Amino acid sequence: MSIELKIRDQIVEAIEKCYHQQVDPSLVQLQNTRKEFEGDITLVVFPFVRMSKKSPEQTAAEIGEYLQQNVAEVDKFNVVKGFLNLVISSSYWISVLNSASTNPNFGITETTESSHLVMVEYSSPNTNKPLHLGHIRNNLLGFSLCEILKANGNKVVKTNIVNDRGIHICKSMYAWKIWGNGQTPESTGIKGDHLVGNFYVKFNQEYMKEVAALMEHGESKENAEQYAPSMQGARDLLLKWEAKDPETVELWTIMNNWVYAGFDVTYKELGVDFDKIYYESETYLYGKEEVLRGLAEGIFYQQEDSSVWADLSAEGLDQKILLRSDGTSVYMTQDIGTAKERFQDYPINKMIYVVGNEQNYHFQVLSILLDKLGFEFGKGLHHFSYGMVELPQGKMKSREGTVVDADDLMAEMIEVARKTSEELGKLEGYTTEQAAKTYTMIALGALKYFMLKVDPKKNMLFNPEESIDFNGNTGPFIQYTYARIRSVLRKAADRKIDLDRTIKITSGIPTMELQLIKLISQFPVAVKEAGDNYSPALVANYIYELVKEFNQFYHEFPILIEEDFKVRNLRLVIAETVGKTIKTGMKLLGIDVPERM
């Protein structure tokens, strides 16, 4: 149990004993003591004044006296108006450091047989285009969330749903048939997902020309968009595919396989993976079965054109289409089928969908529909809703070919990392192979950290140059600090300085060292809060605060040349533990840290 939780429980007990009042633990507000006051943990006393019927100062003093008598770790206290400042004993902080320095899994909760199973869906690409900048944020958030949930003692299944059917892929197929001239990734040297994406863009270019031509001949915009030859051709392919026309299915299989091969390369470069991949082309059939069952049971209704709908007016929503008039499925149908299949495949305790906030309504409806269909898990689905990524030049549009491809962005980041590192002389003495590996580590560290340090709920502006700065709240700054710590420890080893990881100091810990130990002690708390709030940003920003504090300490106080053996050993153990905490924390974000830099 952390010292904060122990003190919270004792405060609840103190109020019961002193004032004969039951208090909700959520009313106990603890915070770090401000640096200008003596203390480590501060209690806000004002919520308890009405219970004590005494002044804030007197109430704080009485609670402080109770804590000093009943909590061994509370050394002394002081009162500043309505705030009770608690001084925690040096022996406690040293015990925290000893635990953190010797425990290889500090901050991590191991899974057990009884651990909850959490399934997290992320990525969810369409097979008509390569992964782009938006997918990068999705993949990084999903992968990091999985690592954080595992660190909180959960079993985790990382899953992906590939949207490999529907009108979008049929548009690329139609364009390839009409304008492709038999092109393949091998014949063009173009990565498969990029090649298929090019035909998706080509389709929309030609489609817009057709719409414009029809409108010039007097057709309304609506009719022109409906009856343009390209759109009719794509719809025909969709109907043929659902009817299992052999030629159409063969082309669909070939082009999707091109895309899968391309995706695999991107996923590997990005450092993300999956335990189970589902395909819409398979799960939509389960969804259709459930929708038709719902229709037969009167849960859904059918319109005159044979389309099937759900009436959600009782829930304060509108009507939702589930099957089109021609019998083809929509995304909602597929998600119903996928959910059913997943809960049949795994004993899931929690299902989390990592999908952008433009789909908030979709998942609200999905939860309601699954509940209406009688699935107990319906109400428990969680939509991890995150904000969009924009570039300095604005939003991206796939159909216009203005997206930033994930592959291109990673290549650009590696080149920026190379130039920046060379200009700063960071990798002098490296072999070509070592340098290339480190450029990639720095580039991906910059990209991932920049994406993950932002509150997931917020929209964000991604600036590649800003992300790769070696100063400030960036991945490279954290990576460089880790490498600096490893350098100090290597020099200590070279000088035959033995590290005693069981610190025996019992009082008088210097201020800066104490501040670092306090920050180290907060790592398990940051990991737990990140898991509870589904927010990798909490881990990212904790690491930055730790690194910032260590760098200030490093510049102000010598480590290896310190003459006092006990102080030098304490500083070395703190440095090593900070480095270990950085490495563990960055791993939760999917980021590697270099031993040298």
User: What is the per-residue pLDDT across 335-376, written as a single tens digit (0 to 9) for each?
Assistant: 999 999 999 999 999 999 999 999 999 999 999 999 999 999
Could you tell me what percent of the chain has a pLDDT over 90? 82
- φ/ψ of 211, rounded to 5, equals -60, -45
Q: What pLDDT shows up at residue 213?
A: 96
- 184 sits in the region (left: phi over 0; alpha: psi -120 to 50; else beta) called beta
The string of DSSP letters for 136-148 reads HHHHHHHHHHHHH
Number of structural domains found in the chain: 3
- φ, ψ dihedrals at 79, nearest 5°: -120, 130
**Do 447 and 388 share a structural domain?**
no
Q: How confident is the model at residue 402 (pLDDT cuts 50, 70, 90)?
A: low
Is residue 594 assigned to a domain? no
Same domain, 365 and 461: no
Residues paired with 355 in a beta bridge: 385
Q: Provide the mean pLDDT of the chain.
A: 93
Residue type, 262: G
Residue 211 lies in a domain: yes
Q: Do the domain assignments include residue 342?
A: yes
Mean pLDDT of the region 307-316: 96
**Domain edge (last residue) among 69, 88, 107:** 88
Rounded Cα gap, residues 333 and 539, in angstroms? 36
Helix (H, G, I), strand (E, B) or coil at 303: coil
H-assigned helices in 71-166 = 90-102, 133-151
Same domain? For 392 and 463 the reply is: no
Where does the pLDDT of residue 535 fall: very low under 50, low under 70, confident under 90, or very high at 90 and above? very high
* The predicted structure's pLDDT at residue 1: 66
Asked whether residue 398 carries a pLDDT value surpassing 60, the answer given is no
Of the listed ranges 8-22, 255-269, 382-396, 564-578, the least confidently predicted one is 382-396
Residue 276 has φ and ψ, to the nearest 5°, of -150, 130
Q: Which residue has the higher pLDDT, 413 or 351?
A: 351
Find the domain containing 276 and state its range: 122-400
Higher pLDDT pick, 562 / 581: 581
Residues 273 and 315 both lie in one domain: yes
In a domain? residue 104: no
Claim to verify: residue 332 and residue 214 sit in the same structural domain: yes
- Alpha-carbon torsion 35, 37, 41, 43, what sign? negative
What pLDDT does 399 receive? 45
Residue 63 belongs to domain with CATH number: 3.30.1360.70
Per-residue tokens: 464: 């590649």
In terms of C-beta density within 10 A (0-12 exposed, 13-18 middle, 19 or more buried), how is residue 234 classed? Answer: buried
Residue type at position 19: Y
Residues 233 and 301 reside in one and the same domain: yes
Q: What is the mean pLDDT of residues 524-550?
A: 97
d(CA 203, CA 559): 64
Beta-carbon contacts of residue 83 (< 8 Å; ≥ 6 apart): 42, 43, 44, 45, 60
At residue 187's C-alpha, the angle toward residues 185 and 193, to 5°, is 10
0.75 exceeded by pTM:
yes
Measured distance CA(260)–CA(160) in Å, rounded: 12
Written as six digits, the tokens of 81 are 């108006």
State the pLDDT confidence band at 430, using cuts at 50, 70 and 90: confident
Q: 184 and 323, same structural domain?
A: yes
User: Which of helix, strand or coil describes residue 152?
Assistant: strand
Q: Is residue 395 part of a domain?
A: yes
Note whether 587 and 543 are within 8 A (CB).
Answer: no
Packing angle, helices 90-102 and 565-588, rounded to 10: 60
Which pLDDT belongs to residue 597? Answer: 82
SS3 label, residue 429: coil
- Residue 514 domain flag: yes
Same domain for 131 and 43: no
**At 128, phi and psi to the nearest 5?**
-115, 10
Q: Would you say residue 108 lies in a domain? A: no
What pLDDT digit, counting tens, does each position of 138-183 carry?
999 999 999 999 999 999 999 999 999 889 999 999 999 999 999 9
Quote the CA–CA distance of 335 and 528 in Å, as a whole number: 30
Q: Do 136 and 23 lie in a common domain?
A: no
Please state, in angstroms and rounded to a whole number, the distance separating the CA atoms of residues 108 and 153.
8
160-169 per-position pLDDT tens digit: 999 998 899 9
Place of tokens 């035959």: 496
Q: Is residue 341 part of a domain?
A: yes
Mean pLDDT value across residues 4-27: 92
Instruction: Answer yes or no: do 128 and 26 share one domain.
Output: no
Average pLDDT of the segment spanning 1-30: 91
Quick one: CA torsion of 498, 502, 507, 513, rounded to 10 degrees? 60
Residue 217: the pLDDT is 92
Q: Which of 400, 433, 462 is the last residue of a domain?
A: 400
pLDDT for position 511 = 86
Tell me 198's DSSP state.
H
If asked whether residues 81 and 179 sit together in one domain, one would say no
Confidence at residue 400, expressed as pLDDT on a 0 to 100 scale: 47
In this model, does residue 396 exceed pLDDT 60?
A: no
| 456 in the same domain as 507 | yes
Residue with tokens 């299949």: 341
Name the pLDDT band for 432 (thresholds 50, 70, 90).
confident
Contacts of 411 (CB under 8 A, 6+ apart): none
Among the listed residues 231, 401, 371, the one whose alpha carbon sits nearest the alpha carbon of residue 310: 371
Higher pLDDT, 234 or 467: 234
Domain boundary pick from 400, 428, 461: 400
**CATH number assigned to the domain comprising residue 279:** 3.40.50.620
| CATH assignment at residue 552 | 1.10.730.10
Provide mean pLDDT across the span 109-132. Answer: 95
Tens digit of each residue's pLDDT (9 = 90 or more) over 34-47: 989 999 999 999 99
